[in-house]
Each structure stands twice: as structure tokens, then as C-alpha cells.
Amino acid sequence: MIKSFVFATLLVIATSIAAEEPFTIFEGKEGLVPKQPQACVDSSGMVHVAFGVADQVYYCRIDRQICSVPEIAFRVPNMALGMRRGPRIAHSGRAVVVTAIGGDQGKGLDGDVLAYRSLDDGKTWLGPVNVNDVEASAREGLHAMAASSDGAIWCVWLDLRDKGTKLFASKSTDHGATWTKNVLVYRSPEGSVCECCHPSILADNKSVHVLFRNSLGGNRDMYLVSSQDGGVTFGGGTRLGRNHWTLNACPMDGGMLTLNQNGEISTVWRRDRSILIAEANGKSESYLGIGEQPWVAGQGNEFYTVWTSNREGDLLLARSRNSVSEKISTNASFPIVVASLLPERVAYVIWEKRIDRMITIMGKELR
């Protein structure tokens, strides 16, 4: 068991951001390779960013075209990092909450979802607190987290507490200090969901929605499973899209989901080499382009969707489901996008970029 601690850090305002121009969040150096950036937007429009460097979780803020210097928030022994494994971040309205998966051995031998929280905008961190209630059951290293409009924080992960990979979830109603007894979200009738594709979660008061890749009948299709009673029970799951992806392997590529201003769900994911956006009804889909590792964020009735042409390649952005994509970077991988309407339109895309032989975390404001 990893003991709790408080890690203090001093954040220094450093980088001015030119509107819609790419900017450097963290420059990779020999021995300091940053990976897997994640971000969220709080109710004031502040963007909170977390990423991993070996066993260290870094944190910074973006506020009104100023990006603070990323500082080490805490360390997670043998942290799962890479291929969408890495820290996740959410804001409860009072606290910044960051989760990461680590263990005494790592490398898939053990791993727990560990939650940390900051009540002072990242100056100090409290934790860790275990989210999964069966030791080492999160050793696959893939999880997701989201804040609900009622202040609850939800976490979902690929779980190995018994035979087969399943989806389990937990929530915190006290800003990440404690977590509820784990709830089974989905168990595949064939014994296992797709073993190496990250899940995604979206919560809005009593509604909780989880997007994941399933493994049924030789197909690796995307499914959406939902709860309308605050996570007490979850439905059986709805397959998304019109066609199957027949594949006897794990593509290591999940998807993302978002809400529009009418509370309607849209999902973005990959089938073979196609990036698709689909509604929650499971029947419709729209083609966005060729690539992988897609991510989406809603802003009113608009959508920002990002993906890369290859595992490492051109970073592409579509500003609506019908728009022609635009290239915003080269040598990019694992992009994410966040957006909010309050108090004003705030949207950023953040990604890994290879510069020479180094990885640098980059960002760009979207307007």
C-alpha cells in the first residue's frame, strides 16, 4: 500500500499565449520525456493540465492566455504511462482531482487507481487514496475520469479482479477525498471487453455514460453503456455505428464522448482507419477522415474533434461534423481537446509533438 503524503509546489507564471498559435507547455529533454497530457476546464474558464514524466505527475494551469510553468505535483511508483495510459484530471468545483495508476511492481503485475486532490490550485496535493477496492485490479493501466455538474467526480477503468477484463467505476462526492464501493459497469457475455483500449466517461447529475471498445463475435466495436440512477445500475450497452470492425487483436485506440447544449450525446472513435462521429442511438455515423486516436469536446451545438493521421503524424482538427479538417501540427500523437462555454468560450487542443528525438507537450487555443 502506498502511503499518503502532501507534496508542495510553487507555480510560476511563465508563458504568454498568442491567440490560435501553438505554444510549448513542457519541453522534453534528455531524461525528461513528457507523455499523455490531459486537461479539464473549470467553471471560471481556467484550464487545468496534467501529464506524466516517468513516475512524476506534472500540473499547470492556462488562464487568459497565460500558461504557468508545469511543476511536479506528486510521484506515482511505476506509473502506467503511454498509449492513453497516464494521469487523468477533473475539477469538482472546489478541488483539482488527479488520478493515475501505479503499484509496487508495475509492468502489468500490479496497479491501483490512485487519487490526489488539491484545494489551493495546485500549490499542495493530498493523497493518494485508492479508487479501486480490490488490490491490483487496475493493473492494465487504462482509466478515465470526469466531473459531473453536481460536483461529483466519476472514475472508470479496465478491471482485472477476476477472469476477463471488465469495466468498473467509482465516484467521489467529497472532492476526491473518498470513493464509493466499486460498481460493475459492464461485463462482456464473451468474458472480456477489448483489453487495451481506453474507456471514456461523461457524467451529468444522475446520468453517467461510459464509452468503450467491446470484444464480441470477433468484432472490436464501440459500445455506450449508461446509468440514469446515479450509477446504481447500468444498462446492457448499445453498439455504435452501422458496421462491424472484424479484428482478432486490440487496436489500442478508444474514443471520446461529449454533450451538446441540449444534453444529447455524441461520440468520436475509430473503425479500421476511419474516424467517425456517432450519436448515442447507435444507428447514425458521420465520416470525419482517416487516422486514429480521436478526441472530442462540445461547445454548445459545435464540436471540436482532433485526431492524428497515424500513431505519430499530422494533427487534424474538424470544427463540426460536416467541416473539412485542418492540419494544425506535424509529428503529433495522442491529442486531447477541451472546451467550455462558461464564463466565455474556452477551447484548447493539447498534444505530444516529436521535435528531433524529443517529445514536447504543445497546446493551441481554438477560436
Nearest of 350, 361, 334 to residue 83 by alpha carbon: 334
Nearest of 12, 9, 88, 87 to residue 54 by alpha carbon: 87
How far is 239 from 280, CA to CA, in rounded Å?
A: 9
User: Is pTM, for the whole model, over 0.75?
Assistant: yes
Structural domains in the chain, CATH included, are 30-365 (2.120.10.10)
For residue 268, give Cα distances in angstroms to 31, 40, 257: 34, 18, 6
Tens digits of pLDDT across the chain (367 residues): 444 444 443 334 458 787 779 999 999 988 899 999 999 999 999 999 999 999 999 999 999 889 999 999 999 999 999 999 999 999 999 999 999 999 999 999 999 999 999 999 999 999 999 999 999 999 999 999 999 999 999 999 999 999 999 999 999 999 999 999 999 999 999 999 999 999 999 999 899 999 999 999 999 999 999 999 999 999 999 999 999 999 999 999 999 999 877 788 999 999 999 999 998 877 789 999 999 999 999 998 889 999 999 999 999 999 987 778 999 999 999 999 999 988 889 999 999 999 988 999 999 999 8
Task: Characterise 94 by phi-psi region: left (phi > 0), alpha (psi -120 to 50), beta (else).
Answer: alpha
How far is 305 from 250, CA to CA, in rounded Å?
A: 23
Beta carbons of 164 and 188 less than 8 angstroms apart: yes
